[in-house]
Amino acid sequence: MSHASTGIRQQSMNTIHSIIYTVRDLDAAKAIHTALLGTDPHTDQPYYVGYNVDGLEIALRPAGDGEAPTGPIANVGVPDIEAALEAAQRAGATLADPPRDVGGGLVATVTDVDGTTLGLIQRS
């Protein structure tokens, strides 16, 4: 059975670019992640700690004032963030955070029907 006969579009797959954890205690989370991942972070700043695990970015970011830590947010790398947001919203997602430039690319988040936050990232 071909993809055309099943109604599935043939396209290149977007990939998971990074997984970001929002944490209350960055130093404590860094110690645990360093021990479990078996490597030091490639970026170790007060606003971001990042590890590269076989090409996947595992990151820690401190919770802001009054912000509760969240579950992990998987960021999907997309070639066109506006088109990806439009497709996600047509499929039932809700825009949570519109695209913003974070230096080196654009990021945005949506939530699915269960309230799970999903990230999108478009590299420059």
Mean pLDDT (whole number) for 110-124: 91
Residue 12: per-residue pLDDT: 67
Length of the chain: 124
Q: Tens of pLDDT along 21-78?
A: 999 999 999 999 999 999 999 999 999 999 999 999 999 999 988 888 878 999 999 9
Helix (H, G, I), strand (E, B) or coil at 26: helix
Q: Are strands 56-62 and 48-53 parallel, antiparallel or unpaired?
A: antiparallel
Q: Amino acid letter at 73?
A: I
Q: Which helix (H) or strand (E) holds 115?
A: none
Domain 78-124 indexed as CATH 3.10.180.10: yes
Residue 27: per-residue pLDDT: 96
pTM for the structure as a whole? 0.76
Classified by CATH at the fold level, domain 13-74 comes out as: 2,3-Dihydroxybiphenyl 1,2-Dioxygenase; domain 1 (3.10.180)
